[in-house]
Amino acid sequence: MILLILSLLICHLLADFSPLSTDWMLRAKSKGAPFFPIFVHAGVHALLMLVVLFFFIPITLAFQLAAFQWICHFVIDVCKGKMSFYFPVFANPSDKRYWMLFGFDQFLHQTVILAMAWFIFR
């Protein structure tokens, strides 16, 4: 179980904090729009996690959990972007509220990963 969770967290790290997260995606994420680049970004997360899940669970369940990841990641990123757009204090890295929202965003993403693992090992 720990290996699966660690592998999924590494997928999240790679999809969010590497060249896999392109400028096109980051611009959209910062405003919560347009949706398509954020949808593609969430798809990168889902695809990486799908590859990992293939090693741990049946293929049908892997696709279902990857779809769950895709939808959740998309919704979380759109909401964070909208918060930053409508409340500029959340878009300013020199303000502690920026980091509070960033931390909450990461907490939500990690909670989704834990929920996926819980569903597999329940």
Angle between helices 96-121 and 2-16 (to 10 degrees): 140
Which amino acid, 84?
S
Cβ pair 65, 116 in contact under 8 A:
yes
Tens of pLDDT, residue by residue over 77-116, are 999 999 999 999 999 999 999 999 999 999 999 999 999 9
| Domain boundaries defined on the chain | 2-121
If you average pLDDT over residues 43-68, what whole number do you get? 98
pLDDT at residue number 32? 97
pLDDT band at residue 11 under the 50/70/90 scheme = very high
Cβ pair 91, 30 in contact under 8 A:
yes
The DSSP 8-state label assigned to residue 1 in this structure reads -
Q: How far is CA 87 from CA 38, 79, 90, 107, in A?
A: 19, 12, 6, 20
If you average pLDDT over residues 10-38, what whole number do you get? 97
